[in-house]
Amino acid sequence: MDLIELKTSLHNCQRCRLSSGRTQVVFGSGNHQADIMFVGEAPGFYEDREGVPFVGAAGKLLTELLQSVGLSRSDIFIANVIKCRPPNNRDPLPDEIDTCKPFLLQQIEFIRPKLVCTLGNFATQTLLEKKVGITKVRGQAIPLANFVVFPLLHPAAALHQGNLRVPLKEDFQKLKTVLEQMSKPPIPPNTSSSTVPPPHKSPKEAPADPPTQMSLF
């Protein structure tokens, strides 16, 4: 199975109660080979209507924030933990998250991003697999086995609480720093096979190997 086949298999998903109230499954959109993936919570009204994640006011803000760090929607892949809109945009229930989580993990497996930016509490807790508040981990690069998680405040939260706009913009500037690190090739370690110092220097005077640049990736 590949990403397209996974999307097709979920087209008429009936695995949980959300199937009865949705307009359509919102699978995700963007670059199928992206190094950077964004994961939100669940589709809202406009996403449910158009079948694309982050197309409402929160999506407009996200697009602006992406542009502020030199990214466009075509550079990344965007998905949600939950693929169907909860009634009245309520929070996803635990069993709904459990039902949809395997499909999110398959998306990540097929796309193989280096960096997964989680937007808000639900996406962050789902991928970190622990109860942690977004305000405690936002703006931090957290390495997992196959990718790095970078939690961000959810754009919708910043729209509803104006005092979160500045922290959200700050987090995107931290993200820009992480992206710059990703774009730099690591400095290779010293590959010299000789461990004997030159004849005119004593072992104590032998120069040390240059330090190796550390990388999140």
What is the mean predicted confidence (pLDDT) over 16-25?
Answer: 97
Specify the higher pLDDT residue, 214 or 16: 16
C-alpha to C-alpha distances, 82 to 11, 65, 139, 146, nearest whole angstrom:
14, 23, 23, 22
Q: What pLDDT digit, counting tens, does each position of 107-149 carry?
A: 999 999 999 999 999 999 999 999 999 999 999 999 999 999 9
Question: How do residues 60-105 score in pLDDT, each as one tens digit?
Answer: 999 999 999 999 999 999 999 999 999 999 999 999 999 999 999 9
Helix (H, G, I), strand (E, B) or coil at 145: coil
> How many other CB atoms are found less than 10 A from the CB of residue 57?
14
* Residue 12, φ and ψ in degrees, nearest 5: -120, 40
Determine the pLDDT at residue 1. 87
Higher pLDDT, 200 or 128: 128
Strand-pair category, 148-152 with 115-119: parallel
Rounded to an integer, the average pLDDT of 184-201 is 58
Q: Which of 12-21, 55-64, 159-168, 205-214 has the lowest mean pLDDT?
A: 205-214
Q: How confident is the model at residue 189 (pLDDT cuts 50, 70, 90)?
A: low
What pLDDT shows up at residue 79? Answer: 98
- Tokens at residue 186, please? 């690591």
- Map out the domains of the chain with their CATH numbers: 7-181 (3.40.470.10)
Reported confidence tier of residue 191, pLDDT bands at 50, 70, 90: low
Burial class (CB in 10 A: 0-12, 13-18, 19+), 116: buried
Chain segment 36-62, per-residue pLDDT in tens: 999 999 999 999 999 999 999 999 999
**Do residues 111 and 36 make contact, with C-beta atoms less than 8 angstroms apart?**
no
- In which band, very low, low, confident or very high, does the pLDDT at 210 lie, cut at 50, 70 and 90? very low
204 vs 79 pLDDT, higher one: 79
Q: Are 111 and 37 in contact (CB under 8 A)?
A: yes
